[in-house]
Structure 1
Amino acid sequence: MTSLLTFLFAITLLTMTPGFDTALILRTSAASGWKKALATSMGVNAGCMAWGTAVGVGLGALLLASEVAYNILRLAGAAYLLWLGVGLLLKPRSAFQDALPQAKQDGYRRVFMRGFLGNLLNPKVGIFYVSFLPQFIPAGGSVALWSIGMAFTHVVVGTLWNGMLIACTHYFAEKLRKPAVIKIMDRLTGCVFIGFAAKLALAKR
């Protein structure tokens, strides 16, 4: 029980630490509404479950052991974040999604995949899971079941935290509908994404 409470405390602190996922969810909530921000959050959660499952079946160990596998995933993730960031920086919007024609709006599948890929292509998440989760698996316990269970716990904590962020952003979104403010917000978010891309590209294990 002490070990599980320690895990819960640590994973809560990790969830509340601002990162790419937080920036993506906040930006989606402000620009596209709470429903699509929730879909983005579900994409992030799916990425967490994918990493938890990978650790459970032993694939995470490959990432930890193989420099080539780590670097391929790291560079792919950095390129993806850079692509998102440059897109926001060069083509900021002047209106929120609900004011745009339906054809130009991001669909739920697109925002879900944005959250999923942003999480899945970050090898730091995989390294964290493969080095962190096994510490809390009891002797003789199923590695697969415990890894997936702890990843699910992370998802539950993340869903609660993201829900709070989305609710706050939804309240302030009504006050941030000026075209100039929307453009500034998109460009700032783009700079944040580019910063995360550079940090990931230059990261060492």
Structure 2
Amino acid sequence: YIFSFIKYAGALYLIYLGIVSLKSLSNKQEPADTDRKHKKNKSHFLQGFFTCVSNPKVAVFFLTFFPQFLSTEGNHFAQFLAMGLIYSLITIIWFFFYVYLIDFFRAWLKKPSVNNAIQGVSGVVLMGFGIKLALEKQP
């Protein structure tokens, strides 16, 4: 009985989310405040920066992957520095490309017709998942 209750509650919630998504098509949203948007973007940048800087996986990657490419003769620090700078340059180039691509898709996704289509499709899909969940037989 508990499984059935949770299943039907989840199905109703999915249907509710679908209906809310479809109803939002008719509601017009107010433009966002530019000062608040700027502060929000700045906080996202800082959050991303501190997440990347404090990520131990990068240090583990460099300490486990790079030593196999070091020459036994020569300055190890200079070799590590060169590989790190090359890696940084490749990463910067990749992120510039990535940001350009995201900006292109952002402009496309902000079009009202595309936004409405996404809202409509997601609403129908959520309602479909809710109906499918409600009609499934217990395993």
Q: Normalising by structure 2, report the TM-score.
A: 0.48
Higher relative contact order (CA 8 A, sep 6+): 2
